[in-house]
Chain A
Amino acid sequence: MCPEPRENDSTRFDRLPATAEERVVEGRPTREEVLDWWDDRFGVPPATFENHTFWEHGAGKIWAFAGDVASPVAIEGLGLTFLRTRREHWKPTLEAVQRFGGAAEDCVIHVSREEAATFVAGDDQELDWDGDWGYLIVTTDIAGEPEPVGVGLYVHGELRSQVPKGRRRDL
């Protein structure tokens, strides 16, 4: 067995420890912290992720994988990019929000189709919002039902689009 390194190694995927007691690598979030964060911030129940394992690849970048293999594993991808950690405010990815954000109950800002188009184009906009500042899940009605579109940063009366460049579209 190779000794477990105490620092993150960005060439491979390492499964998150279940709890802080099992943590070896400094600063690595735990599965418990990740589940609590989705629950506390967005009201997404932990059971949503009961069939997924979480992996760190690159400092703070967490991936969600629908299965389990031996850790670590040095490959190009393992599931879906999911969450950015190791910073004061954790940030979910657009992909995670589109896939799992339908279960969110808190910090969800529902916008009109026009406002959603502005957001998808990557543009910031002034919008009213009574809730917490910070990262929000942006939804709009598609085919008659609210659908999660991506992640916005709400500060000072403004919704700042966090849609990555490659996913922006002029609709």
Chain B
Amino acid sequence: MDVLERYEPLIDDFDAFLAACERPLPSVVRVNTLKTTVERARAAMDEADIAYEPCEWHDGLFALPEDQPGTNWPYVLGWLHGQEEVSAVPAEVLDPQPGERVWDACAAPGSKTTQLAALMDDTGLLVATDNNLGRISALRSNAERGGVTNVAVTHEDARNHSLKPFRGPDSEEGREGAPYDRALVDVPCSCEGTIRKNPDALEDWNLDHVDGISGVQKGVLRRAVQTTREGGTVVYSTCTFAPEENEAVLDYALAEEDCELVEFDLPLDHALGITEWDGETYDESVRRAKRIYPHHNDTGGFFCAKLEVTA
């Protein structure tokens, strides 16, 4: 927990924050509306004697206080997907519409991918990219169990993502596919916010790793802005508290690419993005990003920002 001490200046009720980080996290499932309705999923959980409590801000999320494993009928049918409560935030903020072209830049193991597909009613094009074949296998398996048919999976470094595979059916070879309407950039991070789920999450923490991974995060966010159309939306999210991986990455993208941060509603308690850290100052607009601390809503920690592409 020593690592977390560095965030004391940022957090109003630091003792409550630390106490929350020490508590285990309840299991949460999301109803897969590609295969059933929330009503029928609830009926199936009732029938299987699974205790559940609705999460107030999202009508398809349920906490399972008795920590049920995935061995039950609604799970076998692909009606339920285990997903941490805050990890359901960025897809909702991205708000993809049916028929759109959407990129999930760091997609595996696919919780957010399947959520995006459901929000799109399984129409349009959802490109899901990851750079690790083992994790792509998990992504594929989750997409299959979810019954997703609008997903195209690519194995590549998201920083060099190619639109060429997604050109139109009758277009000339070598042309690029159309830019995306929206992109989700839920990047690999130092995962400090998952401490309640993985008590070992901070064991290998060091600042060099944070600095290294922030370079990757900057590259992925840049590529997402480049491949999204003017007026399109990019959501950037992490499950870490480190400003080097959050506001600093946004500050970099604002300086290097044609984009701006936009306001958004989030029906969960949160703090605003910060503009000063460790001697650095960031663009004022990064205050539009949102920091979710574990003691706010009794969840994991999370960071989320919404950008609009301006050219």
Which residues of A are interface residues toward B (Cβ below 8 A)? 1-2, 15, 51-52, 64-71, 73-81, 95, 98-99, 120, 142-145, 147, 149, 166-167, 169-171
Contact = CB atoms under 8 A, between A and B. Distances in A.
Interface string B33-61: 01100001001101100000000000000
A97 to B, nearest CB: 10
Given A70-B171, A142-B73, A76 B141 contact: no
Nearest to A120: B76
A149 B140 contact: no
A71 B128 CA distance: 19
A76 B165 CA distance: 11
B152 A70 contact: no
A66 B122 contact: yes
A80 B152 CA distance: 9
A77 B76 contact: no
A61 B151 CA distance: 17
B145 A69 contact: no
Interface in B156-188: 165-171, 173, 177
Interface string B91-130: 0000000000000000000000000000000111100100
B141 A64 contact: no
Contacts of A51: 123
B77 A149 contact: yes
A79 B136 contact: no
Contact of B147 (A1, A68, A70, A98): A98
Contacts of A81: 144
Contact of A75 (B71, B154, B168, B170): B154
Q: How large is the interface on B (under 10, 10 to 19, 20 to 34, 35 or more residues)?
A: 35 or more
A1 B173 contact: yes
Given A67-B125, A73-B165, A143 B76 contact: no
Given A79-B148, A143-B43, A170-B71, 8 more contacts: A66-B122, A66-B123, A77-B152, A79-B149, A99-B34, A142-B47, A144-B43, A145-B40
Contacts of B145: 95, 167
A3 B141 CA distance: 33
Contacts of A143: 40, 43-44, 46-47
B301 interface: no
A81 B145 CA distance: 11
A69 B152 contact: yes
Most chain B CB within a 10 A radius of its CB, from A66, A68, A149: A66
B261 to A, nearest CB: 31
B76 A70 contact: no
Nearest to B168: A70
24 contacts: A1-B173, A15-B169, A52-B149, A66-B124, A66-B149, A66-B150, A67-B124, A68-B169, A70-B171, A70-B173, A71-B169, A73-B152, A75-B155, A76-B136, A78-B152, A79-B149, A80-B147, A80-B148, A98-B35, A142-B47, A142-B74, A143-B46, A145-B40, A167-B76
Contacts of B147: 80, 95, 98-99
